[in-house]
């Protein structure tokens, strides 16, 4: 913490500190300091021997400056005192539980309760002025809203108004993306592959991060689905895969999802997925950028902390200066995820100024008051409901999607009566197109359907599109499946055997590695394919995070 500014110190106190610095500075040059020297210093300064030792310790712990020895004021009467943490905790809890309520207790009443609580624990009670000053430093809009209601604070707000109060966890979750101010490296050669994207979901009531995903792909409906699946499922298996010993119990299906008006938030995949799981999809009002600001502030804070990591691009060229981000890049996607997990854990355990408690504490409190949030036991099945949607007619050989054939034995009963059936609703994960999920004609369950030719490798939709483009560049007027996959294999061979790969090639290879499509082949079909119910992955720390 920075010491008092030179010009802010009164003249008398500055002169006293300057004299003390001259004497204490000489003592600090010796270790150990003899008793005679301490007594001599005490006599010269007119203070006790014990006080000399206190000043000596402050001088050594400081920066060797005069301001290290400026007299420290007691702020008790002004509300900024150095109360012990147990007393501070009592004040925070009782302000939240007794003062910030529609009962509208007085400060005098609150102070009496704080005094009683301190007495029970054998702690010194703070002065009434101290309690009043703590309250005076709180956000007046938040205080008024809690005590008087939303209408009472309308004059204090901007003309654009504010987001309505959220009373319980998962009542509203805000979600947004950003391209990160950091260049990451690939797993194999540790060479730069560009800037990843971060998608985060934050619970408005507790300010806890409930979901997070880092990808190399631009924001899409899949990014949103991955983040929602991360939010809705148990995070312990994911933390174990990352090798992180940290708690992240904040999970559950949101009741309402609050998003901006970007295209990926208006896709059929997202709207249908939210409908399926009873999630209300609410959009930020146009022209009111402060709506949804909570998630944007957490992203902004994260980016500022990321500027401390090797390979940061900073916010702009002026701030970056001569820093070579690509040369300094050092973190893989997995290492970045581990850093983010530790940063989130630190944030969850830090007292939030608006809440008056830690986000983790608010979450636990809300769970105790209501119930454990509903989570999904199968994140993969949950994700399926948010994957991109296609509609295709069933043929005698199964389904054809972008020149790729899919078949499973479970389709046979429908093939026999395919002429009477409408187009099927199909979902496909663009990270791995080796399988699709087909909704049965009754609309009750998804059937997983793999490639018809199981020898074909698992590929991403981006590889698939590149291969199609390459074939058309070579003059192919018609594309068949075998030719398409031969082109994909040729492109992979060139990528893997090139003496020096380009950043783009490394990025494409890392995409395959991250989603498991480098060598993975689809699982062979079984006589009765599994039915997927529709209800159904350390460098630094955040430190002090901006409060929202």
Distant-in-sequence, close-in-space partners of 29: CB < 8 Å, separation ≥ 6:
none
Quick one: which of 116, 112, 118 has its CA closest to 89?
118
pLDDT range class, residue 317, cuts 50, 70, 90: confident
For the stretch 60-98, pLDDT in tens is 777 666 777 877 654 444 444 568 878 888 998 898 888
Give the architecture (CATH level 2) of 77-156.
Orthogonal Bundle (1.10)
How many angstroms separate the CA atoms of 221 and 383, rounded? Answer: 11
Long-range contacts of 317-323 (CB under 8 A, 24+ apart): none
Summary mean pLDDT of the chain? 79
pLDDT range class, residue 285, cuts 50, 70, 90: low
pLDDT for 80 equals: 47
Look up the CATH number of domain 173-382.
3.30.420.10
280-283 β-sheet, strand order:
209-215, 197-203, 173-179, 256-259, 280-283
Rounded to 10°, the helix 128-136/107-120 angle is: 120
Domains of the chain by residue range? 6-72, 77-156, 173-382, 387-533
For the stretch 110-128, pLDDT in tens is 999 999 999 999 999 998 8
How many angstroms separate the CA atoms of 203 and 209, rounded? Answer: 6
Per-residue CA distances from 320 to 181, 312, 534 (Å): 11, 8, 47
How many angstroms separate the CA atoms of 233 and 254, rounded? Answer: 11
How many angstroms separate the CA atoms of 161 and 288, rounded? Answer: 9
Highest mean pLDDT among 30-34, 134-138, 144-148, 170-174: 170-174
Quick one: which of 456, 459, 298, 448 has its CA closest to 383?
448
Quick one: which of 239, 238, 227, 178 has its CA closest to 203?
227
pLDDT for 539 equals: 36
Q: What is the mean pLDDT of residues 199-212?
A: 92
- 136 or 139, which is more confident: 136
Quick one: which of 134, 135, 128, 130 has its CA closest to 113?
128
Question: Where do the H-state alpha helices sit in 316-378?
Answer: 317-320, 325-328, 333-348, 359-369
Tell whether pTM > 0.85. Answer: no
Q: What is the mean pLDDT of residues 259-286?
A: 82
pLDDT for 290 equals: 46
DSSP state for residue 433 in the 8-state scheme: T
pLDDT for 497 equals: 67
CB 430 within 8 A of CB 514: no
């Amino acid at each position: 913490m920075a010491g008092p500014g030179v010009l802010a110190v009164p003249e008398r106190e500055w002169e006293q500190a300057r004299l003390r610095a001259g004497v204490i500075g000489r003592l600090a040059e010796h270790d150990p300091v003899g008793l005679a020297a301490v007594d001599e210093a005490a006599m010269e300064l007119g203070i006790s021997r014990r006080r000399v030792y206190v000043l000596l310790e402050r001088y050594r712990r400081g920066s060797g400056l005069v301001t290290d020895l400026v007299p420290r004021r007691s702020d008790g009467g002004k509300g900024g005192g150095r109360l012990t943490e147990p007393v501070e905790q009592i004040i925070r809890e009782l302000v939240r539980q007794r003062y910030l309520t529609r009962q509208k207790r007085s400060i005098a009443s609150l102070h009496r309760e704080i005094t009683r609580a301190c007495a029970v624990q054998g702690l010194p009670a703070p002065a009434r002025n101290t309690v009043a000053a703590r309250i005076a430093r709180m956000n007046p809009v938040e205080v008024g809203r809690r005590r008087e209601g939303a209408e009472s604070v309308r004059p204090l707000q901007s003309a654009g108004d504010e987001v309505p109060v959220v009373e319980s966890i998962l009542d509203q979750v805000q979600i947004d993306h950003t391209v990160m101010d950091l260049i990451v490296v690939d797993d194999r050669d540790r060479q730069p592959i560009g800037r990843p994207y971060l998608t985060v979901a934050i619970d408005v009531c507790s300010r806890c991060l409930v979901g997070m995903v880092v990808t190399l792909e631009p924001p899409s409906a899949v990014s949103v689905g991955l983040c929602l699946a991360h939010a809705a499922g148990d995070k312990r298996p994911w933390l174990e895969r990352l090798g992180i010993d940290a708690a992240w119990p904040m999970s559950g299906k949101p009741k309402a999802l609050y998003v901006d008006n970007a295209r990926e938030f208006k896709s059929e995949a997202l709207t249908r997925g939210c409908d399926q799981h009873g999630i209300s999809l609410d959009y930020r009002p146009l022209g009111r950028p402060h709506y949804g600001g909570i998630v944007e502030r957490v992203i902004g804070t994260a980016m500022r902390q990321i500027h401390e990591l090797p390979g940061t691009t900073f916010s702009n060229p002026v701030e970056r200066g001569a820093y070579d981000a690509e040369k300094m890049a050092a973190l893989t996607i997995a290492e970045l995820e581990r850093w983010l997990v530790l940063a989130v854990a630190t944030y969850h355990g830090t007292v939030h100024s608006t809440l008056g408690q830690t986000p983790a504490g608010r979450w636990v409190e809300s769970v105790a008051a209501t119930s454990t949030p509903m989570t999904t036991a199968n994140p993969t099945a949950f994700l399926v409901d948010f994957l991109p949607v296609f509609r295709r007619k069933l043929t005698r050989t199964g389904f054809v999607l972008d020149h790729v054939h899919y078949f499973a034995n479970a389709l046979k009963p429908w093939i026999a009566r395919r002429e009477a059936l409408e187009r099927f609703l199909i979902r496909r994960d663009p990270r791995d197109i080796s399988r699709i999920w087909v909704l049965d004609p009754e609309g009750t369950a998804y059937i997983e359907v793999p490639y018809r030719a199981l020898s074909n490798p698992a590929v991403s939709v981006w590889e698939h599109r590149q291969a199609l483009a390459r074939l058309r560049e070579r003059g192919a007027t018609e594309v068949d499946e075998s030719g398409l996959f031969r082109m994909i294999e040729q492109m992979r061979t060139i990528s893997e055997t090139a003496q020096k790969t380009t950043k783009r090639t490394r990025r494409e290879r890392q995409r395959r590695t991250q989603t498991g499509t480098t060598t993975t082949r689809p699982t062979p079909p079984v006589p009765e394919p599994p039915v997927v119910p529709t209800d159904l992955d350390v460098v630094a720390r955040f430190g002090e995070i901006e409060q929202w």
